[in-house]
Amino acid sequence: MKKLAVNIARLILAVAFILSGFVKAVDPLGTQYKIQDYLVAMGLGRLIPDFMTLSASVLLSTLEFILGICLLFAIRRRMVSKIVLVLMAAMTLLTLWLALTDPISDCGCFGDALVLTNWQTFWKNIVLLTAAVIVWRYPLLMPRLIGEANQWIVMNYSGVFILLVIAGRSLYTLPQFDFRPYHVGTNLRQGWQRMMEGEDSPYAEFFMELTDEGEDITEDVLNREGYTFLLVSPHLEQADDSQLDALNQIYEYSLDNGYPFYCLTASTEKGINHWRNITGAEYPFCNTDDITLKTIIRSNPGLLLLKNGVIIRKWSHNNLPDEQDLTGELETSELGQLPSDTVATKILWILTWFVLPLVLLTLADRLWAWSGWLRKRNNNNPLNKEKVIMRKKIVAGNWKMNMNLQDGIALAKELNETLKADKPNCGVVICTPFIHLASIAQFLDQDIIGLGAENCADKEKGAFTGEVSAEMVKSTGAQYVILGHSERREYYKETPEILKEKVLLAQKNGLKVIFCIGESLAEREAGKQNEVVKAELEGSVFNLSEEDFRKIVIAYEPIWAIGTGKTATAEQAEEIHAYIRSIIAEKYGNAVAEDTTILYGGSCKASNAPELFAKPDIDGGLIGGASLKCADFKGIIDAWKK
């Protein structure tokens, strides 16, 4: 149930973030205007320059889109769920303020594609915030759609797509999807007529008033049969003047062919005169509402072509029609017809170039993971025994004297759920204080996580107040026991003889022993590490028969690295692991040595585990401090997936 809830929440958030990011990126200027509206409502309107609000618009859309993709593919689950939660908390507060004070009418969450009232937006955000809390609480219950190795491709591909292909292209040309009431294909004549008849209409502020005579020509222009060019510039003072020649050419073309040409602007006379001076413009100017002009076209200046009152073309100043396009009459040229790229063709383009590659990549990734699983299963087939490296990879946690019963149970439960949702690529064991064992054994899925004690007595049973025997450990349901840890050797004076007894009793009771060896700092500095580990092995586990030795897991733990934050370098660790394997080979032969699991312990963390585990003789880790938090421990376990 929990997993289902997390994944429903993840899907809701992913869809909302992808949609919201996409529609904002499609219309970066529209999003910028909305950000400016917010700033004005907060009294900060004049303080923030335009380039900053435009950058904020592009960054916001990119962030939302990439977060949505990360949620969909379950990429960087912990980090992404935290960012989403913070973002949703901030957005919910912001929209509560909007709903209560109503400084702007529409929040702009989904651009012009879906306009919500402020209260609708607030309740929508409450739903999304709840989903974000669920996902943040159990991020690891979201199964990945793609392996970690390929996640960067998905993120970078999505980033390039949204930033360059969608936002960049929309900024350079015009929004690729136009959700405003002035999109190509709009019958302005009909819309305006309905407004005049008193119907609710988005064209209430659309008017064209000749600046020279003050005459309103809206009706004439919209009712005119044939073509009309409208150059649109909310503010001529800020208009891009790099394409003046192209504009003048279009104007001349319209004169030659008898098509009316007007410039619609909200500029003052001064602005219009300035434009006339720099461009030599001879076309008539009309006054229009500046918000309406910004809504009509996201380009300053931009060009519109009307045919019989219908908008049939829109051009940004960056891609105006050129000389070759302007030959012959519009009636017979391609330019004079509605464009062939419909919404459906644009959606198809996105499906082909964005969605399909990601689907193919996901399929290839899953196929590869599946074939890896098959290869592994084949390797475990007894018929292929000679090819198999038998030794098991293990990550074992040593909780030491930490956590009361309740905290320990909570941690074990969290780990249990986490690893059930995202199966490890190695054996996992948790070794806990005695008092936790029986309770944890009740719910732990021991096919995934083995349970062990941190010690057991060197006596079978009897009057040994305070001791816990191997048999008792086994009776809790535990399968493992750590023996010979340096802290027990040092603080409780456990000698090789005592350890020999403990190992025998543990094995007699069917416990698997994780046997620790390792040198002190002084011994390492004296170059005696090999000597020390050899003596520790010879004094205890090297007394076992080959059959019993095969059941032992060795943990090499340099004492100077335990709990100190100092880690042996991967090379140092590999060197001594190889040495340990070589002396096992001397004692029991190559086959046993090859099959013996040798773990490294000592300040092992998620950050250094991959490098350590990549070494040929390091078969995993015995983890102290970092096993006390599920996320940290999981990070180390995941090192086997890299």
Question: Do 603 and 586 meet the contact criterion of CB atoms below 8 Å apart?
Answer: no
Question: Do 460 and 469 meet the contact criterion of CB atoms below 8 Å apart?
Answer: yes
* Annotated active-site residue in 317, 436, 485, 577: 485
The token pair at 253 is 């073309």
234: exposed, middle or buried (C-beta count within 10 Å: 0-12, 13-18, 19+)? buried
Q: Per rule CB under 6 A, is residue 432 in the interface with ligand PEP?
A: no
Q: Per rule CB under 6 A, is residue 452 in the interface with ligand PEP?
A: no
Q: Per rule CB under 6 A, is residue 563 in the interface with ligand PEP?
A: yes
Pick one of 417, 536, 557, 638: the residue that binds ligand PEP (CB under 6 A). 557
Neighbouring C-alpha atoms within 13 Å toward the C-beta of 567: 22
Inter-axis angle of helices 356-379 and 148-160, to 10 degrees? 180
Is residue 485 annotated as a catalytic residue, yes or no?
Answer: yes
CB of 625 to ligand PEP, least distance (A): 3
The Cα-based distances of 252 to 232, 258, 327, 560 in angstroms read 17, 10, 12, 85
Query: For residues 364 and 521, which CB has a smaller minimum distance to ligand PEP in the complex?
Result: 521
For 40, list phi and psi in degrees, rounded to 5: -60, -45
Is residue 557 annotated as a catalytic residue, yes or no?
Answer: yes
Q: How far apart are CA 375 and CA 386, in angstroms?
A: 15
Residue with tokens 């993709």: 69
Neighbours of 532 (CB within 10 A): 19
Pick one of 335, 622, 636, 639: the residue that binds ligand PEP (CB under 6 A). 622
Choose the stretch contacting ligand PEP; rule: CB under 6 A; options: 89-97, 337-345, 347-355, 623-631: 623-631
Query: For residues 342 and 564, which CB has a smaller minimum distance to ligand PEP in the complex?
Result: 564
For residue 311, the cross-strand partners are 306
Residues numbered 581-610 forming contacts with ligand PEP, rule: CB under 6 A = 601-604
Report the candidate in 306, 131, 144 with the shortest Cα–Cα distance to residue 232. 306
Q: How far apart are CA 66 and CA 69, in angstroms?
A: 5
Choose the stretch contacting ligand PEP; rule: CB under 6 A; options: 32-40, 113-121, 247-255, 619-627: 619-627
Query: For residues 19 and 428, which CB has a smaller minimum distance to ligand PEP in the complex?
Result: 428
Query: For residues 229 and 560, which CB has a smaller minimum distance to ligand PEP in the complex?
Result: 560
Q: How far apart are CA 638 and CA 606, in angstroms?
A: 8
Number of residues that bind ligand PEP (CB under 6 A): 13
* Annotated active-site residue in 64, 557, 574, 577: 557
Dihedral of CA 72/18/77/13: which sign?
negative
Residues numbered 390-429 forming contacts with ligand PEP, rule: CB under 6 A = 398
Pick one of 134, 293, 618, 623: the residue that binds ligand PEP (CB under 6 A). 623
Question: Do 393 and 425 meet the contact criterion of CB atoms below 8 Å apart?
Answer: yes
Neighbours of 455 (CB within 10 A): 23
Pick one of 624, 633, 634, 638: the residue that binds ligand PEP (CB under 6 A). 624
Neighbours of 569 (CB within 10 A): 11
CB of 107 to ligand PEP, least distance (A): 49
Pick one of 135, 174, 562, 568: the residue that binds ligand PEP (CB under 6 A). 562
Q: Which residues bind ligand PEP (CB under 6 A)?
A: 398, 557, 562-563, 601-604, 622-626
Hey, which residues are catalytic here?
A: 485, 557
